[in-house]
Structure 1
Amino acid sequence: MPRDWLNLSWKLLLARGAIAVLFGIAAMAWPLDTALALVLLWGFWALFDSAGSFVQAFERGTPAAARLLLVVMGLVALVAAFLAIFSPALTAVTLTWILGIWLIVRGVFEVVAALVASGTAPRGLLLASAAVDVLLGILFVANPGRGALGIAFVLGLVAFVWGVIFLVMGFAMRRRVGALDQPAPTL
């Protein structure tokens, strides 16, 4: 039984690695298409989330306050879904702009945390993290279109690296399984 499990796992690792490498190459080669595809997927998820909120709002026994909240959340998700599906480029830019603002705010809070941290806290690391967050945030806000492309490219790079790791692990596992198949030497 263990041999079958090992045999299956190396094949899965190789398949996952190959798919990740191919996805990574495609995402890096076509970051605009990747960003738009991700926004579209997010839009369809928001559409299903909206439907789920509406169904939950009108289930029997849902309190009135919760019903109102679920309807509002459903409407917001519905608007976000239609924007993402029918205007994915605008949505990608908007989401990147929001990410940029969030990074700037996060960086400011990290600076404050570094300044008020006790003597044992690694202030230098907090300040370095804050600087990266603020710098990325400013870059995203200043040019959200390129920021969205950058995010898609980095996603592709990460997928490619993970794919290579999975391929190496799969081949190593295959070698191990092959060693198990060899008959033990007789003395």
Structure 2
Amino acid sequence: MERDWLTAGWKMLLVRGVIGIVFGILAIAWPVSTAITLALLWGFWALTDGIGALVQAFRPEARGSRVLLVALGVIALVAAFFAITSPGMTATTLTWILGIWLIVRGVFELAGAFSSNHVMPRWLLVLSAALSILLGILFAANPGAGAVGIAVVLGVTALIWGAAFITAGLAVRRAVQQA
């Protein structure tokens, strides 16, 4: 039984690795299309989330939280509408929001670096804060390029994961053949 599981396992690892590499190559080759596709996917997720919140709001057990669930559902549906009808603007907006979040996070990291006792060296916390603030400024200042950059980083990550899955699949295959 174990041999059958490992045999199927190495094949699936190889398939996952090949899919990761293909996705990575496509994301790097067409980063704008990747960013737009991710915005569309987020839009469809927001659509299902909004519908789910509205359905949940009208269930009998949602008495006290009904207004909150309706509000969340409507906000999600509005966000989904904009994401699906204008994915390029959505990708840019999400990158801008990410930039602001990174700046705020960096400021809090910087404040934390100079407060109370830390196990981590202070210089490392300051470096992390500076990187968050710098990346946040870059994203907020040019969100279009930031969205493309995120797509390229996603592509490179997919290439690395794909190679790791292929390597693991071949190692498992080798182990199965030797057993």
Same fold (TM over 0.5): yes
- Structure 2 counterpart of 1:183: none
Within 5 Å, give how 1:23-34 maps onto structure 2. 23-34=23-34
- Structure 2 counterpart of 1:20: 20
User: For the residues of structure 1 that align with 2:146 and 2:119, how far apart are their CA atoms?
Assistant: 36
User: For the residues of structure 2 that align with 1:37 and 1:156, how far apart are their CA atoms?
Assistant: 13
User: For the residues of structure 2 that align with 1:8 and 1:165, how far apart are their CA atoms?
Assistant: 17
Which amino acid letter does the alignment assign opposite residue 172 of structure 2?
M
Q: Which runs of 5+ in 1 are unaligned?
A: 181-187
- Structure 1 counterpart of 2:113: 114
Structure 1's 46 and 99: CA in aligned 2 closer, same or farther, altered over 3 A? same
State which drifts further: 111-120 or 164-173.
111-120
- Structure 2 counterpart of 1:8: 8
Q: How far is the alpha carbon of 1:82 from its aligned partner?
A: 0.4
Root-mean-square deviation (CA, aligned residues, Å) is 1.0
Secondary structure of the structure 1 residue equivalent to 2:65: helix
Within 5 Å, give how 1:83-94 maps onto structure 2. 83-94=82-93
State which drifts further: 121-130 or 37-46.
121-130
Alignment of 1:37 with 2:31, yes or no, is: no
Give the conservation status (yes or no) of the 8 Å contact 1:44–1:81: yes
- Structure 2 counterpart of 1:124: 123
Which amino acid letter does the alignment assign opposite residue 40 of structure 1?
L
Alignment length, in residue pairs? 179
User: For the residues of structure 2 that align with 1:34 and 1:117, how far apart are their CA atoms?
Assistant: 43
Scaled by the length of structure 1, the TM-score of the pair is 0.93
Give the conservation status (yes or no) of the 8 Å contact 1:117–1:123: no
Within 5 Å, give how 1:142-157 maps onto structure 2. 142-157=141-156
User: For the residues of structure 1 that align with 2:111 and 2:53, how far apart are their CA atoms?
Assistant: 38
Q: How far is the alpha carbon of 1:120 from its aligned partner?
A: 4.2
Q: How far is the alpha carbon of 1:119 from its aligned partner?
A: 6.0
Scaled by the length of structure 2, the TM-score of the pair is 0.97
- Structure 2 counterpart of 1:185: none
User: For the residues of structure 1 that align with 2:150 and 2:119, how far apart are their CA atoms?
Assistant: 34
- Structure 2 counterpart of 1:184: none
Alignment of 1:69 with 2:79, yes or no, is: no
- Percent of aligned pairs sharing the same letter: 59
Q: How far is the alpha carbon of 1:121 from its aligned partner?
A: 3.7
Q: How far is the alpha carbon of 1:44 from its aligned partner?
A: 0.6
User: For the residues of structure 1 that align with 2:13 and 2:119, how far apart are their CA atoms?
Assistant: 42
Segments of 4+ moved more than 2 angstroms? none
Q: How far is the alpha carbon of 1:61 from its aligned partner?
A: 3.3
